[in-house]
Amino acid sequence: DAGVTQSPTHLIKTRGQQVTLRCSPKSGHDTVSWYQQALGQGPQFIFQYYEEEERQRGNFPDRFSGHQFPNYSSELNVNALLLGDSALYLCASSLVSGSTDTQYFGPGTRLTVL
């Protein structure tokens, strides 16, 4: 049973660039959520996708956007990168129609902005 996978593992970008992170949900899951974890902090909710639409959004600027594909995989895009965007980006998947929709996390993508 494949868990949540994310790519790439690490990424280094410079300020002003754009980045795309990818996530494949756990087999059988239909919902993908993205979180940002800064050093020493807990993960912060960015947004959530279900049925290829953004369902909920946290307190992040429009520079952060996403997409969900028909196979439930998802992308997170960040434009005009800032130094403060350096963080671990976590993807979590869940099954909304299940008895519990506990979120299961991938290993994350470590983004460094120079």
Partner 1 sequence: DQQVKQNSPSLSVQEGRISILNCDYTNSMFDYFLWYKKYPAEGPTFLISISSIKDKNEDGRFTVFLNKSAKHLSLHIVPSQPGDSAVYFCAVSPNTGFQKLVFGTGTRLLVSP
> Which chain residues interact with partner 1 by CB under 8 A?
4, 6, 31, 33, 35, 40-45, 48, 50, 55-56, 58, 90, 92, 94, 96, 100-108
Closest to partner 1 by CB, 94 or 113:
94
- Residue 109: CB minimum distance to partner 1, A: 10
In angstroms, what is the minimal distance from the CB of 53 to partner 1? 12
**Tokens found for residue 50:** 């279900």
Residue 107 and residue 9 in contact, taking contact as beta carbons nearer than 8 Å: yes
Nearer to partner 1, 49 or 81 (CB): 49
Cβ proximity to partner 1, 47 vs 78, nearer residue:
47
Q: How far is the CB of 40 from partner 1 (least distance, A)?
A: 7
* Between 20 and 44, CB nearer to partner 1: 44
Query: Shortest Cβ distance from residue 42 to partner 1 (Å)?
Result: 3
Which residues, other chains included, contact 21 with Cβ-Cβ below 8 Å and sequence gap of 6+? 6, 7, 8, 11, 75, 76, 77, 78, 89, 91, 109, 111
